[in-house]
Every structure is written in C-alpha cells, then in structure tokens.
Structure 1
Amino acid sequence: MSTPRVRPYTRTGGRTRSTTALAIETIVTTNERAARDALTSTAEHRIISDLCRLPHSVAEVAARLHLPLGVVRVLLADMSDLSLINVHQNADNSDGGPSLELMERVLLGLRRI
C-alpha cells in the first residue's frame, strides 16, 4: 500500500503568489530566530531552515525539496515575513546581466546537485 501524496500547493494553502518577490537566483540563509522558533514552525519551514544553514538560491531549495518553484517562493516569502530567513539581495550589474559572482555561485550550486 502506498502512502497518499500531498499536492504541493496544499503546503501554501493554495496560494501561488507571495507578498515578497524572490528571483530564482536570490540567495537565502537561515538565521538565529529560525533555530529558536523551531518548535512553532511548520514542517516545511523546519526542513527549509535545516537546508539553508548554508546559503542556497531559491532554485536550489526548490530542486532539493522536489517542489515547484512557485511553492518554494511562497514558503520562502512566508519565512522572510516571519524573519526566519535572511534574503540576500542580488547585486545589480551595470550591463544588465548577472554578476560574475552570481554566476559562480549558481555554477557551484548546480555542481552540488
């Protein structure tokens, strides 16, 4: 007998958009509050908190959790609103393209997967 699967969007209460816009390359990390509030957080928040003790991009979190990008964006935005994660803003590049540092982080993250 197989266990029933939970549809990804039930994890967000059916929401597909969040109040905070997070690009796929945005880096997130867990902060001290997440560790203190571990008992009151949802299961998804605890899993993301554990994963993001090391910096991860939004895309990496989605890939590692095997969840759609939209679901992860909503979960991360909720965590940001609750001050459970730090969202590291992307540096703007003068030519409009991604910075070399960002490209190196993405490449490193892809190699880890």
Structure 2
Amino acid sequence: MAPDETSANGDEAIPSPRLVRPYTITAGRTKATVDLPLEATLRVDPRADGQPVNAAAVPLLEMCDTKSVAEVSALVSMPIGVVRVLLSDLVEQGFVTVQTTITESSSRDERIELIERTLRGLRTY
C-alpha cells in the first residue's frame, strides 16, 4: 500500500518511518580525520560552550563527556563509523578532547596512569 492510499476499511495508511543513510549524516565522508580508538575516553571542552555545532553531532556532544568512543556509539544508537567521523569533527572544532590510550611504545608511567584513570572511572559506577 502506498503512503497516500487507504486501507480496505477506509482508514488512512500510516506512513512508515524512513531511514536516514549514514553517508547523509557525514556528508559522504567515511573516514575520521582524527585517530579515535574504540576505547579512547572523550572529554567535552567547556571553553567551546555556546559555539555553533553541527546538528547531527549534538546528541554525541551531549553524551560523550567521560565516555569512550564505543560507549557514545551505543548510547546514540549510531554506527561506529558515523560516530567516529562526527566525533572527529568535534575534536577538530575544539568541542571535544581525546584522552590518549596506551600503545606498544607507551611508557610504564603512561600505562600506570591509564590503569589509575580506569579504576577511578569504575569507582564512580
């Protein structure tokens, strides 16, 4: 039944919701310009308060303080690729900062700092 048709009993048809394709949200971009590991913790920069932000990124900005990239993706129910592109924009615009994660070349002190930060985060739950 087309959206403007009526059913056999004369009721008007209820239009079905339309899906927005991910590439329309990111303006066709598929790659983030900032490296954002899934476990990277995000912080909202309070100095950016009041500046204009892309409408598609507003829900991410509201969710991302002290959460990981993966958590933000789950909370806003958006694909991780889309979230990475939008978060990358927010980082470049100065709305969000990314706390570094450890790599193979990370020092012992960096590893300990990450463990301590993780423990502090777990204690808040």
Same-fold call, TM cutoff 0.5: yes
The DSSP-based 3-state class of the residue aligned with 2:42 is strand
| 2:43 partner SS | strand
* Equivalent AA in structure 1 for residue 24 of structure 2: T
The runs of at least 4 aligned residues of structure 1 exceeding 3 Å deviation read 91-94, 99-106
Count of residue pairs the alignment pairs up: 103
How big is each residue's C-alpha offset from its partner over 1:3-39, in whole Å with a ceiling of 9 and x where there is no partner?
Answer: 31111221111111122111000111211244211xx
Letter in 2 for 1:19: T
2:118, 2:47 → 1: CA distance?
29
Equivalent pairs: percent with the same residue?
A: 35
CA deviation digits over 1:76-107, x for unaligned, max 9? 1111010011111114365xx9x54576589x
SS of the equivalent of 1:87 reads strand
Alignment RMSD (CA, Å): 2.5
1:18 aligns to 2:29 (yes or no): no
Provide, for residues 50-74 of structure 1, a one-character-per-residue CA deviation record: whole Å limited to 9, x for no partner.
112x301000011111111111111
* The one of 24, 35, 59 aligned to 1:47: 59
Higher relative contact order (CA 8 A, sep 6+): 1
Task: Say whether the 8 Å CA contact 1:26–1:57 is kept in structure 2.
Answer: yes
Q: Which residue number corresponds to residue 9 of structure 1?
A: 23
Please show how residues 7-86 of structure 1 align to structure 2 within 5 Å: 7-37=21-51, 40-52=52-64, 54-86=65-97
Structure 1 CA distance, aligned partners of 2:75 and 2:54?
Answer: 18
Higher helix share: 1
Q: Which has the larger radius of gyration?
A: 2
Does the CA contact (< 8 Å) of 1:8 and 1:71 recur in 2? yes
